[in-house]
């Protein structure tokens, strides 16, 4: 391993600290100081990301409750966040941890597959079948594709809010979609 | 054009992606924000209003518990997940377990993820050897003998430490990568927040977008911004770890000639790495790039006045270093805890 200024971080690191706080940083600071409107705006902006991170990992019926739980946890810990511009990646990490906790706490239960055949057609049957296929993808592809296809976020938005580089998001989307097509039994070119 | 449509919705829509979007749309979250008790806004704050004293008191108690009281530490250890795949992000969890205090793992050809109590997580690259030193209620401490770890921490500053053979890294929040080579040398990259790093009486404060090398027996070097030219980085290595005084002075010449405003971080650290005439040269170059506040005098800096150096730091636009200034190594003796020396 070279220690001579490895370029491995060069595409991730910023060019340097920026003195002017971003709009997001101002919202975080305001929420930290007790501003409910700011908290509401943060929720509006980031809840689709949190919802997608959780939906990629845990049963759908429990996602909504856990989205709220993640925000409650985050707000309690907000004073520990030193860099308000890192709010999105920080929140995404809390959501991923919360999803892992969910399974640890429910180790004694058996989750039914979401695409279990029903006696009557389910209005969300297609959605649940696709979601089941998504969940069989590698974690990073699964999460990025859920954010794009379910939550309707664009690639740049996913990068901005999760802290992934745009390059990683692009790779995740394209490779993930290719794998999803395979999983759904469709050809690579429709 | 389907690539553009997948990326940002522009270009000609891809019918298959549209079908997937339509099928999955019913799964979107629609629940409104939860009712949340927040602390009372500061007087004069104008983004919104909120007056529930009882709720404010409740949240204040919660925040106080979070920032002052210890974090819960269920069991003496952290959860461990083994990841499989050719390279990130093509990885998935294949096995889960727990790593206890005093236990070590070597990832060999795999990747792994450690949950640092409930204050963060650490991702380990292949060929990485780590052990848990402390999983206590107030402090979490990991020893990195070799390899690469990526840390993401959301606790208040000073709660998470990583020992390496050449220095101790103190998380000041919140995201960084630490590499340790087989000879004990290290390299720290900070992606968000700040990391303090210390050993052998040397201290460096590394903000987001900067890196800092370390060497066994010498401690941390001088931090530099990632955009600094290679010549400047090499010259800093000569200053920090070179043994020939003349060569070291030559390296300083190179640094002073190459330094621009973006390199104020490095020059500020060099104020305490040199003395006498050389410190004066560093002062002059830094003053030309970032003028010191009126209270900071050349004589004071040359005399080694730490308070004046700190006052100058505040002019660099790198954020407050207040926590790091008052940080004490109450439980880390001389700084570096050598994993190899400890029989690992």
Cβ–Cβ below 8 Å for B29 and A40: no
Ordered domains of chain B (ranges, CATH):
1-27 (no CATH), 77-326 (2.60.120.1440)
Instruction: Give me the residues paired with residue B214 across strands.
Output: B186, B220
Q: Shortest Cα distance from B77 to chain A (angstroms)?
A: 15
Cβ–Cβ below 8 Å for A60 and B27: yes
The residue of chain B with its CA nearest to that of A91 is: B154
What's the rounded Cα separation, in Å, for the pair B96 and B114?
10
Q: Shortest Cα distance from B40 to chain A (angstroms)?
A: 5
The residue of chain B with its CA nearest to that of A20 is: B317
Give the position of tokens 């799964």: B27
Question: Residue B226 half-sphere exposure, CB side, CA atoms within 13 Å?
Answer: 23
Which of A8, A9, A96 is the best mutation test for B, with the most CBs of B within 10 A?
Answer: A9
The residue of chain B with its CA nearest to that of A167 is: B7
The residue of chain A with its CA nearest to that of B118 is: A97
Of A121-125, A156-160, B60-64, the one with minimum mean pLDDT is: B60-64
| Token couple for B143 | 């020893």
Q: What is the pTM of this model?
A: 0.56
A170 CB neighbour count, 10 Å cutoff: 19
Q: Shortest Cα distance from B299 to chain A (angstroms)?
A: 29
pLDDT one digit per residue (tens) for chain B, 344 residues: 445 789 988 888 888 898 898 889 888 877 777 665 554 433 332 223 223 333 333 333 333 332 333 333 445 788 898 887 655 555 667 778 889 988 899 888 888 989 888 788 899 998 999 999 988 877 899 999 999 999 988 777 888 999 999 999 998 877 899 999 999 999 999 988 889 999 877 899 999 899 999 999 899 999 999 999 999 999 999 999 998 989 999 999 999 999 999 999 999 999 999 999 999 999 999 999 999 999 999 999 999 998 999 999 988 888 777 777 766 655 433 344 444 344 34
Cβ–Cβ below 8 Å for A97 and B115: yes
CB B185, CB B154: distance < 8 Å = no
Q: What is the mean pLDDT of residues A19-29?
A: 78
The reply to whether omega before B144 is within 30° of 0 (cis) is no
Length of chain B: 344
Q: Shortest Cα distance from B165 to chain A (angstroms)?
A: 14
Chain A residues touching B50 at Cβ < 8 A: 34-36
Q: Residue B330: what pLDDT?
A: 54
Q: Residue B44: what pLDDT?
A: 31
Helices vs strands, H then E, count in chain B:
10, 14
Cβ–Cβ below 8 Å for B208 and A89: no
Cβ–Cβ below 8 Å for A3 and B213: yes
B277 CB neighbour count, 10 Å cutoff: 9
pLDDT at A178 over 70: yes
Ordered domains of chain A (ranges, CATH):
22-107 (1.10.1740.10), 115-190 (1.10.10.10)
Cβ–Cβ below 8 Å for A71 and B28: no
Which of A77, A122, A157, A182 is the best mutation test for B, with the most CBs of B within 10 A?
Answer: A77
Cβ–Cβ below 8 Å for A163 and B175: yes
Chain A residues touching B154 at Cβ < 8 A: 77, 80-81, 90, 93-94
Cβ–Cβ below 8 Å for A93 and B152: yes
Q: Residue A119: what pLDDT?
A: 44
Chain A residues touching B85 at Cβ < 8 A: 138
CB A68, CB A88: distance < 8 Å = no
Give the position of tokens 């991702």: B123
Cβ–Cβ below 8 Å for B8 and A140: no
Cβ within 8 Å of residue A1, ≥6 positions away = B148, B179, B181
Chain A residues touching B213 at Cβ < 8 A: 3
Spatial CA neighbour of B317 closest among A21, A123, A79, A174: A21
What's the rounded Cα separation, in Å, for the pair B243 and B248?
7
CA angle B298, B302, B303 (to 5 degrees): 115
Q: Shortest Cα distance from A143 to chain B (angstroms)?
A: 11
Which of A29, A35, A132, A159 is the best mutation test for B, with the most CBs of B within 10 A?
Answer: A35
Angstrom distances, CA of residue B280 to CA of B24, B283, B297: 65, 5, 11
pLDDT at A13 over 60: no
Give the position of tokens 């100081």: A33
pLDDT tier for residue A124 given thresholds of 50, 70 and 90: low
Which residue in the set A33, A37, A47 is minimally distant from B29, CB to CB?
A: A47
Cβ–Cβ below 8 Å for A75 and B38: yes
Count of A–B CB contacts within 8 Å?
242
């Amino acid at each position: 391993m070279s220690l001579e200024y490895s370029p491995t971080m060069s595409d991730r690191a910023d060019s340097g600290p920026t003195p002017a706080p971003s709009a997001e940083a101002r919202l975080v600071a305001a929420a930290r100081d007790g501003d409910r409107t700011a908290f509401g705006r943060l929720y509006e902006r980031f809840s689709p990301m949190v919802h997608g991170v959780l939906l990629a990992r845990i049963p759908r019926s429990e996602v909504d409750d856990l989205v709220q739980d993640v925000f409650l946890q985050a707000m309690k810990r907000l004073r520990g966040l030193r860099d308000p511009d890192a709010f999105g990646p920080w929140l995404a990490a809390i959501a991923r941890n919360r999803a892992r906790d969910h399974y640890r706490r429910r180790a004694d239960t058996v989750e039914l597959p979401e695409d279990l055949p029903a006696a009557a057609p389910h209005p969300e049957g297609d959605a649940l079948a696709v979601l089941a296929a998504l969940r069989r993808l590698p974690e990073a592809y699964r999460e990025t594709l859920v954010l794009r296809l379910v939550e309707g976020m664009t690639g740049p938005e996913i990068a901005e809010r999760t802290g992934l580089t745009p390059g990683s998001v692009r790779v995740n989307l394209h490779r993930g979609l290719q794998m999803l097509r395979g999983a759904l039994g469709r050809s690579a070119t429709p | 054009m389907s690539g553009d449509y997948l990326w940002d919705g522009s270009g000609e829509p891809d019918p298959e992606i549209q079908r997937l979007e339509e099928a999955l749309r019913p799964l979107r979250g629609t629940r409104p924000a939860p009712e949340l008790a927040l602390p009372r806004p500061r007087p004069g704050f104008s983004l919104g209003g909120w007056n529930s004293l009882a709720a404010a008191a409740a949240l204040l108690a919660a925040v106080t518990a979070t920032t002052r009281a210890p974090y819960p530490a269920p069991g003496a250890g952290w959860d461990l997940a083994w990841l499989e795949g050719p390279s990130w992000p093509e990885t998935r969890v294949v096995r889960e377990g727990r790593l206890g205090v005093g236990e070590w793992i070597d990832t060999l050809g795999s990747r792994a993820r450690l949950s640092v109590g409930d204050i963060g997580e650490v991702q380990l690259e292949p060929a990485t050897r780590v052990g848990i030193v402390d999983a206590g209620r107030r402090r979490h401490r990991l020893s990195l003998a070799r390899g690469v770890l990526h840390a993401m921490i959301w606790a208040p500053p000073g709660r998470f430490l990583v020992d390496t053979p050449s220095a101790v890294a103190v998380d000041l929040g919140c995201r960084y990568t630490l590499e340790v080579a087989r000879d004990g040398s290290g390299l720290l990259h900070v992606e968000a927040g700040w990391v303090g790093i210390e050993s052998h009486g040397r201290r460096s404060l590394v903000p987001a977008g900067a890196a800092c090398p370390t060497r066994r027996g010498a401690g941390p070097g001088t931090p530099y911004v990632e955009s600094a030219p290679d010549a400047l980085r090499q010259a800093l290595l000569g200053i920090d770890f070179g043994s020939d005084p003349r060569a070291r002075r030559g390296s300083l010449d190179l640094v002073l000639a190459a330094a621009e405003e973006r390199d104020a971080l490095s020059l500020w650290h060099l104020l305490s790495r040199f003395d006498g005439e050389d410190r004066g040269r560093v002062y002059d170059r830094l003053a030309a790039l970032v003028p010191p506040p009126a209270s900071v005098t050349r004589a004071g800096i040359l005399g080694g006045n730490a308070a004046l150096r700190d006052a100058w730091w505040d002019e660099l636009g790198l954020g407050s270093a207040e926590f790091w200034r008052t940080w004490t190594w109450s439980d880390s003796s001389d700084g570096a805890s050598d994993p190899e020396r400890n029989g690992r």
